[in-house]
Amino acid sequence: MVTLRAARVLHVETGEFEEPGLVHVDGDRITRAGADTGGDVLELGDVTLLPGLMDMEVNLLMGGRGETPVLSMVQDDPPLRMLRAVGNARRTLRSGFTTVRNLGLFVKTGGYLLDVALARAVDADWIEGPRIVPAGHAITPTGGHLDPSVFGALAPGIMPLSLEEGVANGVDEVRKAVRYQIKHGARLIKVCASGGVMSHTGTPGAQHYSDAELRAIVDEAHRRGLKVAAHTHGADAVRSAVEAGIDCIEHGFLLDDETIALMAERGTFLVPTTALIEGMDVSRAAPELRAKAAEVFPHARSVVARAAKAGVRIAVGTDAPAIPHGRGAQEMVALVERGMEPLEVLRAATVNAAELIDVDDRGRVAEGLLADLIAVPGNPLDDMSVLADVRFVMKGGKVFRNEPR
**Catalytic residue annotation:** 190, 319
The C-alpha torsion from 87 through 93 and 96 to 99, rounded to 10°, is 130
**Helix, strand or coil, per DSSP, at residue 342:** helix
Which residue, among 135, 319, 315, has the nearest Cα to 221 in the 3D structure?
135
Exposure on the CB side of residue 226, measured as CA atoms within 13 A: 25
DSSP 150: G
Q: CA–CA separation, 143 vs 141, rounded Å?
A: 6
What is the pairing mode between strands 97-102 and 398-402?
unpaired
70 to 113, 158, 261, 277: CA distances (angstroms): 21, 13, 35, 17
Can you tell me the distance from the alpha carbon of 266 to that of 245, in angstroms, rounded to the nearest whole number? 9
What is the Cα–Cα distance from 281 to 304, expressed in whole angstroms?
21
C-alpha separations of 284 from 170, 171, 287, 373 in Å? 35, 37, 9, 38
Task: Calculate the CA 251 to chain-centre distance.
Answer: 11
CB-facing half-sphere around the CA of 366: CA atoms within 13 A: 12
As a 3-state breakdown, the chain gives helix, strand, coil percent values, each rounded to 5, of 35, 25, 40
Angle, helices 170-183/211-223, rounded to nearest 10 degrees: 30
| Residues 132/115, Cβ–Cβ less than 8 Å | yes
Q: Is 269 helix (H, G, I), strand (E, B) or coil?
A: strand
Distance CA 146, CA 152 (A): 13
Q: How many CA atoms lie within 13 A of 158 on its CB side?
A: 21
Residue ranges in 156-199 assigned as alpha helix (H): 170-183
Q: Which of 58, 48, 15 is nearest to 275 (CA)?
A: 58
DSSP assigned state of 1:
-
